[in-house]
């Protein structure tokens, strides 16, 4: 394509050159035509001069009038100049040069004849007239006439040729100009076509890219919307379930308490029987009242207490999920500084450091939610450091399209890749259970992230630290208000 356009433009340049050259040629031809006219004019003048000299001599012979002699002298003075002009102008033409040489000689002979005849006329007019009839001047004049006629004819021939040549070059010029115009139009049309094709493919590519990006964005949005809806559903479900679970639990714990209270007088009775009437003593009854009943009640109690803690955790989580989010601009480094300050004491104890990579992109979101998520993630990083290795926790954030991703990276004990999904589930924990906790923190972080239309992700290998990436919308979507 481009090659054709280049060829087109080269042809245009060539055509412009040709047109220019033809214009120069045309001017050349015009000069030659002008030159021929000039030569012709000089030859005619010479012819007139020759005639006038003869007329002047004849007039003098007849009338002896001094005016005629005067005319003769004046006319003869112009002769050498004219001859020289013709010779100079026809320098390129050998035929004309030969002829002008002959003319010069004839003119010189005629001048001699004429001056002799006029001098004789001064002395003896009659003899002069007689001599005139016999001298060869008539023949000379005729020869000069023929010569100048031949020269003029020659020049005329040249003139016709040169005019024809000039017409040809003009015609050529027009042809070249027409061709040039056609070529210019063709090149222009072709160039426009090429440009349009290129532009169209560019526009198509750009549109395609835009559509693709929009589709991707829509898909992400739809996905996060689904996630946040599913999250809402789970929150409601969790609230109802935990609520309804509490009711039977009140009974279990209540009647366990009653049972315990009822077991006490029974145990006292066994003690009294043992003391006052040992023969009534039954070993099984004693074991039941003293050991089995308190043990069973103890297990029921600890289990129900644990269940109560778990239900309360679900309830807290679902209650947090129902909280109205109020987005506001957040200065991330400042917020993280605040979280780190609350942990400073523990960090000093452990000899761990937290690095915050500034600057961080701007974020508009619910401050409390972001603070809780980051604080949970940083606390986890501090909690699960590798013993014997100085803790290094790095926080960084980057903006990517309309999302802000915050990375919390540590060099702690790491998480088995098999557990990467599990750790975000409620009550699920990973690795050695040597730290206190109910397995609620990360579930809480994920629930909040979904709620804000974000995502949480974990990259880690056992013993090699972990990086949690929290991706949040830079601005809340319109539907979230």
Which positions touch other proteins (CB under 8 A)? 243-244, 246-251, 253-258, 305, 308, 311, 319
> CA 208 to CA 192: how far, in whole Å?
23
Of the two residues 246 and 389, which places its CB atom closer to other proteins in the complex?
Answer: 246
CB-nearer residue toward other proteins: 308 or 457: 308
C-beta separation of 83 from 107 below 8 A: yes
Work out the burial of residue 190: count CB atoms within 10 Å of its CB; fewer than 13 is exposed, 13-18 middle, 19 or more buried: middle
Q: Is residue 303 helix, strand or coil?
A: helix
What is the closest distance, in whole angstroms, from the C-beta atom of residue 311 to other proteins in the complex? 8
Q: Are strands 327-330 and 353-356 parallel, antiparallel or unpaired?
A: unpaired
Q: How far is the CB of 293 from other proteins (least distance, A)?
A: 16
329, β-bridge pairs: 364
Report in angstroms how near the CB of residue 267 gets to other proteins at its nearest.
19
The token pair at 346 is 């523990």
- Given the complex with other proteins, which of 174 and 255 has the nearer CB atom? 255
Whether the CB-CB separation of 331 and 369 falls below 8 Å is answered with: no
Q: Which is nearer to other proteins, 301 or 459 (CB)?
A: 301
Q: How far is the CB of 244 from other proteins (least distance, A)?
A: 8
Distance, in Å, from the CA atom of 147 to the CA atom of 327, rounded to the nearest integer, reads: 115
Q: Which residue, 316 or 459, has its beta carbon nearer to other proteins?
A: 316
**Distance in Å, CB of 243 to other proteins, minimum:** 7
Q: Are the beta carbons of 450 and 227 closer than 8 angstroms?
A: yes
Closest CA to 469 of 458, 478, 480, 477: 458
Distance CA 69, CA 304 (A): 162
Of 262, 245, 264, nearest in space to 304 by CA = 245
Report how far residue 72's alpha carbon sits from residue 57's, in angstroms, rounded to the nearest whole number. Answer: 7
| Helix segments in 64-136, DSSP class H | 66-89, 94-123, 125-134
388: exposed, middle or buried (C-beta count within 10 Å: 0-12, 13-18, 19+)? exposed
Number of C-beta neighbours around residue 95 at 10 A: 11
Provide the minimum distance between the beta carbon of 250 and other proteins in the complex, in angstroms, as a whole number: 6
> Six-digit token pair at 333?
């480094």
CB of 303 to other proteins, least distance (A): 13
Shortest distance (Å) from residue 467 CB to other proteins: 37
Q: Which is nearer to other proteins, 198 or 255 (CB)?
A: 255
Minimum CB separation of residue 310 from other proteins in Å reads 12
Q: Which is nearer to other proteins, 150 or 249 (CB)?
A: 249
Closer residue to other proteins (CB): 71 or 318: 318
The answer to whether 47 touches 150, Cβ cutoff 8 Å, is: no
| Residues facing 301 on adjacent strands | none
Between residues 96 and 256, which has the closer beta carbon with respect to other proteins? 256
Give Cα separations from 423 to 139, 419, 426, 431, 458 (angstroms).
137, 6, 8, 10, 9
Which one, of 71, 61, 62, 145, lies nearest residue 103 by Cα?
145
SS3 at position 249 = helix
Alpha helix (H) residue ranges in 402-453: 441-451
Decide whether 37 or 255 has the Cβ nearer to other proteins: 255
User: What is the nearest approach in angstroms of other proteins to the Cβ of residue 260?
Assistant: 9
Shortest distance, position 277 Cβ to other proteins, whole Å: 32
Rank residues 116 and 253 by Cβ distance to other proteins and give the closer one.
Answer: 253
């Amino acid at each position: 394509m481009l090659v054709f356009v280049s060829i087109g433009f080269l042809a245009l340049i060539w055509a412009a050159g040709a047109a220019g050259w033809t214009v120069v040629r045309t001017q050349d031809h015009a000069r030659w035509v002008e030159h021929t006219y000039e030569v012709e004019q000089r030859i005619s003048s010479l012819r007139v001069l020759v005639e006038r000299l003869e007329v002047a001599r004849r007039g003098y012979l007849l009338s002896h009038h001094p005016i005629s002699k005067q005319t003769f002298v004046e006319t003869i003075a112009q002769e050498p100049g004219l001859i020289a002009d013709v010779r100079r102008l026809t320098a390129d033409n050998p035929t004309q040069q030969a002829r002008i040489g002959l003319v010069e000689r004839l003119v010189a002979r005629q001048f001699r004849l004429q001056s002799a005849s006029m001098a004789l006329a001064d002395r003896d007019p009659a003899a002069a007239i007689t001599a005139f009839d016999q001298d060869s001047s008539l023949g000379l004049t005729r020869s000069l006439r023929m010569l100048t006629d031949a020269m003029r004819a020659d020049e005329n021939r040249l003139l016709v040729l040169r005019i024809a040549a000039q017409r040809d070059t003009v015609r050529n010029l027009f042809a070249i100009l027409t061709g040039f115009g056609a070529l210019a139009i063709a090149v222009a049309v072709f160039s426009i076509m090429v440009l349009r094709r290129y532009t169209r493919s560019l526009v198509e590519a750009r549109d395609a890219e835009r559509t693709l990006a929009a589709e991707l964005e829509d898909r992400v949005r739809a996905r996060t919307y689904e996630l946040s809806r599913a999250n809402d559903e789970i929150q409601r479900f969790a609230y109802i379930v935990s609520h309804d679970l509490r009711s039977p639990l009140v009974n279990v714990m209540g009647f366990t308490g009653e049972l315990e209270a009822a077991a006490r007088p029974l145990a006292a009775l066994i003690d009294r029987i043992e003391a006052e009437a040992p023969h009534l003593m039954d070993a099984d009854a004693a074991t039941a009242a003293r050991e089995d009943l308190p043990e069973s009640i103890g297990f029921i109690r600890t289990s129900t207490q644990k269940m109560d803690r778990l239900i309360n955790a679900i309830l807290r989580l679902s209650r947090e999920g129902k909280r109205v989010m109020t987005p506001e601009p957040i200065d991330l480094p400042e917020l993280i500084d605040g979280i780190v300050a609350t942990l400073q004491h523990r960090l000093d104890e452990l000899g761990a450091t937290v690095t915050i990579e500034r600057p961080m992109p701007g974020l508009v979101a619910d401050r409390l939610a972001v603070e809780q998520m980051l604080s949970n993630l940083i606390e986890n990083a501090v909690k699960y450091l590798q013993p014997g290795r100085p803790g290094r926790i790095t926080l960084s954030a980057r903006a990517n399209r309309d999302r802000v991703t915050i990375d919390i990276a540590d060099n702690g004990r790491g998480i088995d890749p098999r557990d990467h999904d599990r750790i975000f589930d409620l009550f699920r924990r990973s690795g050695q259970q040597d730290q206190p906790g109910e397995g609620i923190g990360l579930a809480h972080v994920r629930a909040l992230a979904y709620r804000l239309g974000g995502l949480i992700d974990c990259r880690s290998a056992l013993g090699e630290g972990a990086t949690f990436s929290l991706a949040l919308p830079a601005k809340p979507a319109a539907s979230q208000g």
